Structure 1
């Protein structure tokens, strides 16, 4: 647990864990290279904060924060992540994971050992565009993670980032249909790309998605954030 694998800490947020006060641990590194990624310094950079420093920070937040969000990058690629999560869980915090779903074996262990309370699973694209957008071949792993969550009692959400140059309205409807066919009953959260953000790959401005262009009667419900 000595290595520095955390890039930054957001000390307080009311937005990242539903109805809870939380902090965010941003783990450096990722096994995807999503074109629209707005955290290039985290994905490509090195950690600057040790887990010992995180524990010291959290000891001062016991009773003040409800939860800790593990994000990145991709937090589940780190070899000590299970120990990190267990240590924070033992401090009494709720734990949320932000993940691209590429490490189902780690996710399964977290579910089986009751170490996580909430998961945000990134649905990057369907197979026809997955490799183009993520520069990876990890869709099967994502799908396995999705099935693990669906079969569990863990609270979770499915979300995606929308950039009009990379994703069409038809793509979103197809993703919505995929989730429906797989039996997903939660909301499908869509985040509009934030124009002006530094990204891994230079992108022109995105035209924001408008709810009225989608078939809102279909399930799961698309919610634009």
Structure 2
């Protein structure tokens, strides 16, 4: 945890990472300012892996990742990463999950998550076990949590996948607001940058060999 240049939320220096036999990042440098940034590229180029590295879910082979967060809170409480394809939450409802998140994320706002659920037309489903939800509805559950988390860094993987048009418009409004934040960074990982949003940083990962 550190104090970086004003306006910088996270800085990556000389990051190297490989899966067995598959090199992905070779001395990657990246500065994430407050506001909205995008990591884009083809399938299997490492977008999700990079988000996992930024979240601390994976450790780099070498290099450093420095977050300009609060020194009195553990790093794991200051980065929220969406993981809608996970089945780890299938046995519980969205509401039960949200109710437990303030224990990990001190600024998590359960009431705001409920309000966002209304915007995503998710309210009829938040008391159901998540194994009953469609892929799009699961993604909405994670998006509600992401925008209610209150973390310095929020990482959203494939934000628009499996969403209906009403939800896409609602999400675009949330991202437009996020793009103006001065003390929080939002990183989207997707095949291509979204249109019509003000981006602070764009990182295009090369196609896999």
TM-score range, shorter chain: 0.3 to 0.5
Q: Which has the higher contact order (CA 8 A, sep 6+)?
A: 2
TM-score w.r.t. structure 2 length?
Answer: 0.35
